[in-house]
Amino acid sequence: MRQVHRAIVVMVFFLAGAVGAPLSMAQEQPQGITVFVAKKIITMDPGWPTATAVAVRDGRILSVGSLEDLKPWLESAPHEIDRRFADKILTPGMIEPHGHPVLGGTSLTRPLLSYLPLPSPYGAPFPGIKTATEAAAKLKEYVAQAKSPDETVLAWGYDVIAMGGKHLDKTVLDKVSKSPRSISRPTA
């Protein structure tokens, strides 16, 4: 009886494997390839900066180039040529999950009070401010450069922690200027 039981167990595992294998193999078969054709595809790869076709399977790019370049892919799997972008220019989609466009568009173009040295697209690199006294002096410079005495001066990057916890309070700022001013600080 014990041998018969073992034989049945072995047979069940064998049948499960025989029946289950084609099912799992069918699930692992890759889906067809979609080739998007475009007037121009900007690849962001300096070695191959542009293309006219991109092969995609399961949401992943397989290859870029011309339709001729993609021939090995097209001969190896079922495929579909999608020409909906034939008269368009395609660029890579950048997924940026935490942007601050207003910060970049306003603050980063303003005079700096950053502790860290920073490059500047508008001129010489910013050397960095190491003390609250240096920050107040730099603010005086920015106020002197303003087009009118009533102009609001908006500076960016003052880091209270890097300045040893020293805030630029009303007393300090009143010595810099009587006109409106705003100092933005980086936050974590």
Q: With contact defined as beta carbons under 8 Å apart, do 151 and 142 qualify?
A: no
Same domain, 117 and 172: yes
| Coil/strand/helix, residue 180 | coil
Instruction: Give the pLDDT of residue 183.
Output: 61
> For position 81, which CATH number holds?
2.30.40.10
Q: Take residue 90 and report the two structure tokens written for it.
A: 């395609």
Q: How far apart are CA 82 and CA 18, in angstroms?
A: 38
Residues 6+ apart with CB under 8 A from 82: 34, 35, 36, 37
Cβ 92 vs Cβ 44: under 8 Å: yes
Residue scoring higher pLDDT (101 or 112) = 112
Residues 108 and 150 in one domain: yes
Which range marks the domain in which residue 157 is found? 101-184
The tally of CA atoms less than 13 A away on the side-chain side of residue 34 is 12
Residue 153 within any structural domain of the chain: yes
Question: Which range scores top for mean pLDDT: 48-52, 93-97, 116-120, 152-156?
Answer: 48-52
Residue 35 clears pLDDT 90, i.e. is over it? yes
- Is residue 64 within 8 Å of residue 71, measured between CB atoms? no
User: What would the mean pLDDT of 134-151 be, rounded to a whole number?
Assistant: 89
Give 58's pLDDT tier (boundaries 50, 70, 90): very high
